[in-house]
Amino acid sequence: MTDTRIDAQTAAAPVYTVPQERKIVTAIPGPKSQELQARRSKVVSSGVSSALPVYIERANGAILVDVDGNQFIDFGAGIGVTTIGHTEQRVVAAAADQLQDVIHTLFTITPYEEYVRVAELLAEHTPGNWEKKSVLVNSGAEAVENGVKIARKHTGRRAVAVLDHAYHGRTNLTMAMNYKAMPYATGFGPLAGDVYHAPSSYPYRDGLSGADAAARTIGYLEKVIGASDLACLVVEPIQGEGGFMVPADGFLPTLQTWCTENGVVMIADEIQSGMARTGRYYASEHFGWEPDLVLSAKGIAGGLPLAAVTGRAEIMDASQPGGLGGTFGGNPVACAAAIAVFESIDEHDLLAEGRRIEATFRAGLERLAARYDIIGEIRGKGAMIAIELVQPGTGQSTKAPNAEAVTAIVAFAAQHGVLFLSAGTYGNVLRFLPSLAVSDALIEDGLRVLDDAFASLG
Residues 253, 383: one domain?
no
Is residue 1 assigned to a domain? no
pLDDT of 292 higher than 70:
yes
Residues 230, 289: one domain?
yes
Question: Which of 314, 347, 380 is the C-terminal boundary of a domain?
Answer: 347
Mean pLDDT throughout 432-436? Answer: 98
pLDDT tens digits for 345-392? Answer: 999 999 999 999 999 999 999 999 999 999 999 999 999 999 999 999
Selected residue with higher pLDDT from 181 and 62? 62
Q: Band the pLDDT of 186: cuts 50, 70, 90.
A: confident
pLDDT of 7 higher than 70:
no
Bridge partners (DSSP) listed for residue 418: 73
pTM: 0.94
pLDDT of 190 higher than 90:
no
Is residue 3 assigned to a domain? no
Question: Which of 347, 381, 411 is the C-terminal boundary of a domain?
Answer: 347
| 340-359: burial string, b at 16+ Cβ within 10 Å, e else | bbbbbbeebebbebbbbbbe
Residues 155, 215: one domain?
yes
Residues 161, 262: one domain?
yes
Q: The domain spanning residue 78 has which CATH number?
A: 3.90.1150.10
Q: The domain spanning residue 143 has which CATH number?
A: 3.40.640.10
Question: Is the separation of the CB atoms in 221 and 198 below 8 Å?
Answer: yes
Is residue 327 assigned to a domain? yes
Residues 6+ apart with CB under 8 A from 259: 233, 265, 266, 292
- Determine the Cα–Cα distance for residues 71 and 87; give it in Å rounded to an integer: 15
**∠ at Cα 167 (162, 171), nearest 5°?**
95
The mean predicted confidence, pLDDT, of the chain is 95
Q: Band the pLDDT of 8: cuts 50, 70, 90.
A: very low
Residues 273, 373: one domain?
no
Residues 77, 216: one domain?
no
Among residues 287, 257, 451, 267, the alpha carbon closest in space to that of 381 is found at: 287
Among residues 306, 307, 271, 315, the alpha carbon closest in space to that of 150 is found at: 315
Residues 49, 153: one domain?
no
Residues 235, 110: one domain?
yes
Question: Which of 347, 374, 403 is the C-terminal boundary of a domain?
Answer: 347
Is residue 5 assigned to a domain? no
Residues 371, 449: one domain?
yes
Q: Band the pLDDT of 13: cuts 50, 70, 90.
A: low
Residues 341, 223: one domain?
yes
Is residue 211 assigned to a domain? yes
pLDDT of 5 higher than 50:
no
Is residue 6 assigned to a domain? no
pLDDT tens digits for 18-52? Answer: 999 999 999 999 999 999 999 999 999 999 999 99
Into how many domains does the chain fold?
A: 2
- Determine the Cα–Cα distance for residues 86 and 437; give it in Å rounded to an integer: 8
Mean pLDDT throughout 280-306? Answer: 98
pLDDT tens digits for 123-174? Answer: 999 999 999 999 999 999 999 999 999 999 999 999 999 999 999 999 999 9
Is residue 11 assigned to a domain? no
pLDDT tens digits for 87-121? Answer: 999 999 999 999 999 999 999 999 999 999 999 99
Residues 28, 97: one domain?
no
pLDDT of 311 higher than 90:
yes
Q: What are phi and psi of 431, to 5 degrees?
A: -110, 150
- Determine the Cα–Cα distance for residues 125 and 313; give it in Å rounded to an integer: 15
Q: Band the pLDDT of 10: cuts 50, 70, 90.
A: very low
Residues 302, 196: one domain?
yes
Range of the domain at 35: 16-87+350-456
What per-residue confidence (pLDDT) applies to 200? Answer: 98
Mean pLDDT throughout 385-401? Answer: 96
Please report, to the nearest 10 degrees, the dihedral formed by the alpha carbons of residues 77, 80, 83, 88 taken in order.
-50
